[in-house]
Structure 1
Amino acid sequence: MTLTDEHITAERLAELLADDSIAMAHRALWLLLWEGDLRMLDLLSLEIQDIDLAGRRVTGVCGREVPEGEGDLSERAVEVLGLLIADRPAGPLFAVDGRALSWEQVMQTADEQGHPVHAFRAGGRRHRRR
């Protein structure tokens, strides 16, 4: 089996995004994995100031600028990230109780929902090819 053999459908993603029992940080991360091509470790390193909600884009990753077109955000992603950021002025973007998500937490939470984390990226790519 290859990594792309497993994928999340659009319907399953919608169910997971609507599940308030899952921390918003995980749901937002899954959406960005589904919709874009930024690497998981780059996403996990994002700070609040790396996001331009009004401009609908990720502006920087790990201190380097994201080229135009590579960090674009959908309206749905802007909405979810707005909820995630709320009134926090700075700090890690993907945080729960003020602490940045770790790779292990991301893997465990996705697994608890019955999916390997790579399935979000694979599902999004498959969906975009249609």
Structure 2
Amino acid sequence: MTLTDDRITAERLEELLGDDSVPLAHRALWLLLWECELKVLDLLSLETGDVDLAGRRVTGVSGRAVPADEGALSGRAVELLAGLIGARATGPLLAVGGRSLGWEEVVRTAEERGHGIHAFRTGGKLQRRADSPAAGE
């Protein structure tokens, strides 16, 4: 079993997002985990229609609406997702070669880069907490 970091720093995230040897779907997942309040399995279940790129947010997951503050997307996330979706109007959002990412695959890919899959969400939450106005008070 490989030991992995339990959180990711912003610098490490940038390094991973810039690694073109990692499929775009994985890099998009990592950024979504960092930015959103959605769980890994919720993100893996997203369809292309669950994302409003123009509105910069995830609108729904598994048949339920996602509050705007939980599904907000940065410009960078919109860029990654637009590249991932391309001309597809339907189908799984996070897909490689038309096949949606699965749990074992995302865990393995993150671990190959030295991180547990949940470390992306943990790192993002810590970063958002540090960036919040209340953190400086």
- Name the TM-score, length of structure 1 as normaliser: 0.92
Equivalent position amino acid for 1:51 in 2: V
CA–CA distance in 2 between the matches of 1:42 and 1:62?
7
Query: What is residue 134 of structure 2 aligned with on the other side?
Result: none
Q: CA deviation at 1:72?
A: 1.2
What residue is the counterpart of 2:19 in the other structure? 19
Give the match for residue 69 of structure 1.
Answer: 69
Q: Map 1:23-102 onto structure 2 (within 5 A).
A: 23-102=23-102
Task: Quote how far apart the aligned CAs of 1:63 are.
Answer: 1.5
Structure 1 segments, 4+ long, off by >3 Å, are none
Aligned counterpart, 1:127: 127
SS in 1 for 2:82: helix
TM-score of the aligned structures, taking structure 2 as reference length: 0.88
Cα deviation 1:12-41 (Å, max 9, x = unaligned): 100110111000000000000011110111
Q: Secondary structure at the match of 1:89?
A: coil
Q: Distance in 1 between matches of 2:70 and 2:29?
A: 16
Separation in structure 1 between the aligned mates of residue 31 and residue 76 of structure 2, nearest angstrom: 9
Structure of higher CA gyration radius:
2
Deviations 1:54-77 (A, max 9, x none): 011111101122123221111111
Query: What is the Cα deviation at residue 83 of structure 1?
Result: 1.1
Partner of 1:105 in structure 2? 105
Aligned length: 126
Q: Is the 8 A contact 2:35 2:72 kept in 1?
A: no
Percent identical residues: 66
Secondary structure of the structure 1 residue equivalent to 2:71: coil
Would the aligned equivalents of 2:58 and 2:73 in 1 still touch at CA under 8 Å?
A: yes
SS in 2 for 1:83: helix
Give the aligned residue type for 1:42.
D
What CA distance in whole angstroms lies between the structure 1 residues aligned with 2:36 and 2:80? 14
User: Equivalents in 2 of 1:22, 1:67: separation in Å?
Assistant: 30
Mapped to 1, the partners of 2:68 and 2:120 lie a distance apart of 23
